[in-house]
Amino acid sequence: MVAAVSCRRRNDRDTLIDTQSTPLPRQAAVLQDDSGRVINNLRISVTDRCNFRCRYCMPEEGMVWMEKSELLSFEEIVRVASLFAQLGISKIRLTGGEPLMRKDLRLLVAKLVHLQGIRDLALTTNGFFLLDQALDLYNAGLRRINVSLDSLDQVKFNHMTRRDYYERVWRGLDAAETLGFGPIKINVVLIRGINEGEIGKFATLARARPFIVRFIEFMPIGADDGWTTEKVVTTREILQTIERETGMRLLEVERHGNQPADRYRFEDGRGEIGFISSVSEPFCESCNRIRITSDGKLRTCLFSLEETDLKRMVRGGARDEEILQTIQQAVWKKEPGHLINRPEFVRPGRTMSQIGG
């Protein structure tokens, strides 16, 4: 049974800066919301397109892609990212859709890696193009990658992704490991009735190879994803299964820290497992993330019902100060928490692949 999400109340508004009449100090290098959360982590989606059709993310047919002219150009992304960096964003993750479908992504990587204030640049990918692009990405300065891999069984992988690319993804992973990428994280979404029988195999993988395996709870955010609470395999269940099947205890390393995953290590120190418990144990109170969609909309929560159109400002000739102020105002109103499992939950109008996962 999935626990109800408790939403935290916003702080009293008497500390709210009236940004309409008082320009925000330019040097305020902290992006903060009115619940006191400091935001330092930005996910940038570079495309909504994808060559996979993962069941929990998008339907087999009928996805309508954005026009290329709608996407932020690399120059626009770099400008916006540098403004976020001025406000204290220090971590950027490139995502999509499938980010490696964006032509010459390495050129964007090379720019972002050197952006003042950015300490950490990472990429989330389905792994298909790693075989071709890993070397270029490495040379551009990228070191951290997350690869989504929901099954260690080729038939099940094909079923989950609706594509016959299992071997190719593995060749990409091997190439990335050989080149020296690290840490390499494997993202796994379990759906009850499909792949929950593979928990033990993934735990073994985390011990056998230098990969951190992270289980992401299935969320109601895909297009036509068939989500129900019953299909969610919870963190507690996964953790118990791992301990039972391996005969080893998992020890907590970090909980509600700087990343969405709660981190555990096996008691003998070999192998790390992460859990992203968005549904059963939401971590909204410590959320430090915001997102920009590939068409330049700022989203302060994955489940936001509102967006702030930065692309319109950028293309409309807005000055840096105006964009900075708009970002600060939007982030100040970041949602206290999502409402999955509550009757009032409303799915956002866009899917994970359109928002940037």
Binding site for ligand SF4 (CB under 6 A): 50, 52-54, 57-58, 96-98, 126, 148, 353
* Beta carbon of residue 52, minimum distance to ligand SF4 (angstroms, whole number): 4
* Residue 80 interaction partner, one of ligand SF4, ligand SAM, none, beta carbon < 5-8 Å per kind: none
Residue 115 CB-density burial (10 A; 0-12 exposed, 13-18 middle, 19+ buried): middle
Cβ count near 224 (within 10 Å): 15
Cβ nearer to ligand SAM, comparing 211 with 332: 211
Closest CA relative to residue 160, chosen from 119, 205, 218: 218
Closer to ligand SF4 by Cβ: residue 126 or 294: 126
Is 148 a binder of ligand SAM (CB under 6 A)? yes
CB 94 within 8 A of CB 145: no
State the binding partner of 53 from ligand SAM, ligand SF4, none, CB within 5 to 8 A by kind.
ligand SF4
If the CB atoms of residues 336 and 357 are measured against ligand SAM, the closer one turns out to be 357
Residue 166 DSSP SS3: helix
Q: How many CB atoms lie within 10 A of CB 120?
A: 14
CB of 351 to ligand SF4, least distance (A): 8
Six-digit token string for 117 = 């204030």
Q: Which stretch binds ligand SAM (CB under 6 A): 49-57, 69-77, 307-315, 324-332?
A: 49-57
Which tokens is 50 given?
Answer: 């994808």
* Contact residue for ligand SAM among 186, 219, 273, 287 (CB under 6 A): 219
Burial of 20 (0-12, 13-18, 19+ CB in 10 A): exposed
Q: Identify the residue among 33, 225, 272, 335 touching ligand SAM (CB under 6 A).
A: 225
Rg (CA), the chain: 20
Q: With respect to ligand SAM, which residue has the nearer C-beta, 130 or 221?
A: 221
Q: Does 235 bind ligand SAM (CB under 6 A)?
A: no
Told to check if 96 binds ligand SAM by CB under 6 A, we report yes
Cα 183–Cα 210–Cα 283 angle in degrees, nearest 5 = 50
Closest CA to 45 of 349, 357, 312, 356: 356
CB under 5 to 8 A by kind: which of ligand SAM, ligand SF4, none does 246 bind?
none
Binding region for ligand SAM (CB under 6 A): 50, 56-57, 95-96, 98, 124-126, 148, 187, 189, 216, 218-219, 221-222, 225, 352-353, 357
